[in-house]
Amino acid sequence: MGGGDPHFWIYDTDPSTYPGQDSGPRSDVQQFRASFADHGRATHYFKAGLYGRAGMSARCDAYLKNIRIYRKWTLPGRWTLVPMAQARATVLARIAGVSYLLVIVGGLFAEGVARGSLIVPGDAAATADAIADGESLWRWGLAVHLVYLIPAVVVNVLVCHLFKPVGPTLARLALVFSLVSVTIEGASLLQLYVPLLMLEEGDALAALDDPQRQALSYLAVRLFSAGFGLALAFFAGFCALIGVLILRSQLVPRVIGALMVAAGGCYFLNTLALVVSPRLSDLIFPAILLPCLLGELSLALWFVVKGVRTNLVAGRGPAHAP
């Protein structure tokens, strides 16, 4: 072992480093070679045969300079050992992907099915009657929306963590945007409980006649829409910044990064139209959100199916095969 291109060997006579295991057969002894160096520290990618009955993970501190490795089955009787950081990144990406899918499905149900089928635009009386008749659906929509904010936070934190090595400042800024968005969205949900209070507290609100209650309920629903739109303006910053980080890192295909940047732009334009010209907002909604759905769904599915490209190290360039 020497120079900037060290070699590592494991011999049949070496004792096992796996707890509770003997040395076992080591017929596939191979040469281990550093693939590239970063900041003067070699980053190693290792391949080896099956070491006894060690299980799915191990530490080879004595041989691999305290580098934690993960044993991944690739072919019958053969294992590929990769740095633990890469294996962990893939696991985190898949957790983020599943969480993202939960957010997307929950959002489609809450906004499209529950509220979409009960709110009658421009008609407070019809909306109040629809909510009264479909109270259970309205409550389920509110509950699902509240619950999916939890995986939303998980997605925001994990995605920003995965891309932090690419651009720490941009990743932190994206996390701030996303958490502000979730906070505003969660606070806006209180407005959706007002129509239910009008139904539950009828006697206590006897001073208000039916048209007044209906008007207040509809006003609360409209205030939620405004708050949700404001939340999406901050979420637009998250999408755009994550898209930029994807384009820089190539841990995810660049086309998905471009779609995320486009999603951020569409979210922001939708909120801007809602504030500046409600009539224009009515014309472009919901078509303007289709690119958002495409970009976010693509990222979520890629994370679930592929994770992240473990042959690339964020911010360090491609790793050459040993």
Main-chain phi, psi angles of 212, to 5 degrees = -70, -40
81 falls within a domain:
no
Which residues constitute the domain of residue 220? 86-316
How many CB atoms within 10 Å of residue 322? 14
Final residue before a domain boundary, out of 76, 96, 129: 76
Final residue before a domain boundary, out of 19, 45, 76: 76
Residues 98 and 126 in one domain: yes
Direct distance between the N- and C-terminal alpha carbons of the chain, in angstroms, rounded to an integer = 15
Which pLDDT does position 276 carry in this prediction? 92
1 falls within a domain:
no
In the three-class reduction of DSSP (H, G, I as helix; E, B as strand; rest coil), residue 22 is classed as coil
Residues 185 and 66 in one domain: no
291/29: higher pLDDT: 291
Which pLDDT does position 204 carry in this prediction? 67
2 falls within a domain:
no
What tokens does 321 get? 């095969």
Strands 78-83 and 68-75, by their bridges, are: antiparallel
Q: What is the mean pLDDT of residues 110-126?
A: 92
Q: What is the C-alpha separation between 18 and 159, in angstroms, rounded?
A: 33
pLDDT at 66 over 80: no
301/208: higher pLDDT: 301
User: Reading across the β-sheet that carries 68-75, which strands appear in turn?
Assistant: 7-8, 32-38, 41-49, 78-83, 68-75, 57-59
Domain count across the chain: 2
pLDDT tens for each residue of 237-296: 999 999 999 999 878 999 999 999 999 999 999 999 999 988 888 889 889 999 999 999
Name the residue with tokens 């473990």. Answer: 310
Residues 66 and 195 in one domain: no
Read off the amino acid at residue 255: V
Nearest to 185 by CA among 122, 142, 135: 142
